[in-house]
């Protein structure tokens, strides 16, 4: 009984219920105290999850259950399944998903980010253009430092669609700042359609590209996908269905 009471007090202390602690000797044996603590714990868990999901900014996405594993020509399903154990995230390692457009990189990345949030991690998801342009738009060193601190804070920073646009040396320097602030401490997840050898095309004439790649690949899990665009496949299927409906209507008339 004393051990149970001590454990209950620890839970109350963790919740910082100072009013309850101040009157502990009076109320520690009250039957309503345990349900009160359980309600408070459950509500804080719910509010914490709600807050982390809002901060992650994942938007809408398809669940991984809807992913057609047979469509990509190259994909290691066992490797991707293992990523959901989040050992790489616990170690502060990076993750890079590389492959052509429409092969499922963003779908996998968003599902990983969502599950990371459910597991209790803080996450921020944004496109490369949003990240780099937001940083470049800061009009003072103070506001830039604040933004850099914002992107350094979450346990997982997801940068989507790196390689779809090209950027100048200023943008490369800003990405270097983000990578450096998180280096060997917190994980970065990147989706890109360019292998590392072609990142010089993304940041032409930028001197920091080699260092960015070097710091990203140090303690990094690389996931390679290959195949045709699944979005193009769906678009063609929808077009064929519409054409078939028109033919049926035409035959009836």
Fold of 64-228: Rossmann fold (3.40.50)
Identify the pLDDT of residue 38: 87
Identify the pLDDT of residue 205: 86
Q: Which of residues 12 and 118 earns the better pLDDT score?
A: 118
Angle subtended at Cα 19 by Cα 13 and Cα 23, rounded to the nearest 5 degrees: 95
| Predicted structure pTM score | 0.82
> Alpha helices, DSSP H only, in the chain?
2-15, 18-22, 24-27, 33-56, 77-83, 87-90, 105-118, 128-136, 141-152, 169-182, 199-202, 209-217, 230-252
Identify the pLDDT of residue 228: 74
Angle subtended at Cα 22 by Cα 17 and Cα 28, rounded to the nearest 5 degrees: 80
E strand or H helix at 32 = none
Q: Is the pLDDT of residue 241 over 70?
A: no
- pLDDT-based confidence at 1, cuts 50/70/90? low
| Domain residue ranges of the chain, discontinuous segments joined by + | 2-56, 64-228
Write out pLDDT tens, residues 125-180. 999 999 999 999 999 999 999 999 999 999 999 999 999 999 999 999 999 999 99
Round to whole Å and give the CA distance between 195 and 188.
16
């Amino acid at each position: 009984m004393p051990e149970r009471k001590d454990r209950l007090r620890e839970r109350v202390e963790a919740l910082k219920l100072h009013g309850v602690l101040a009157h502990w000797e009076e109320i520690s044996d009250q039957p309503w105290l345990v349900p009160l603590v359980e309600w408070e714990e459950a509500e804080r868990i719910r509010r914490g999850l709600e807050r982390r999901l809002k901060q992650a900014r994942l938007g809408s996405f398809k669940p991984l259950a809807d992913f057609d594993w047979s469509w990509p020509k190259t994909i290691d399903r066992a490797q991707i399944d293992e990523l959901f154990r989040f050992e790489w995230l616990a170690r502060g390692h990076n993750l890079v998903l590389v492959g052509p457009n429409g092969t499922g990189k963003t779908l996998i990345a968003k599902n990983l980010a969502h599950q990371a949030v459910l597991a209790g991690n803080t996450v921020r998801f944004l496109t490369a253009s949003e990240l780099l342009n937001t940083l470049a738009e800061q009009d003072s060193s103070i506001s830039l430092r604040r933004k850099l601190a914002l992107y350094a804070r979450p346990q997982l920073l997801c940068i989507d669609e790196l390689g779809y646009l090209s950027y100048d040396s200023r943008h490369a320097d800003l990405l270097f700042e983000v990578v450096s602030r998180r280096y060997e401490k917190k994980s970065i997840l990147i989706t890109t359609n360019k292998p590392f050898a072609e990142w010089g095309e993304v940041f032409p004439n930028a001197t920091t590209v080699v260092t960015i790649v070097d710091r990203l690949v140090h303690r990094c899990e690389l996931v390679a996908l290959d195949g045709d665009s699944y979005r193009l496949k769906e678009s063609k299927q929808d077009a064929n269905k519409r054409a078939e409906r028109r033919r049926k209507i035409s035959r009836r008339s």
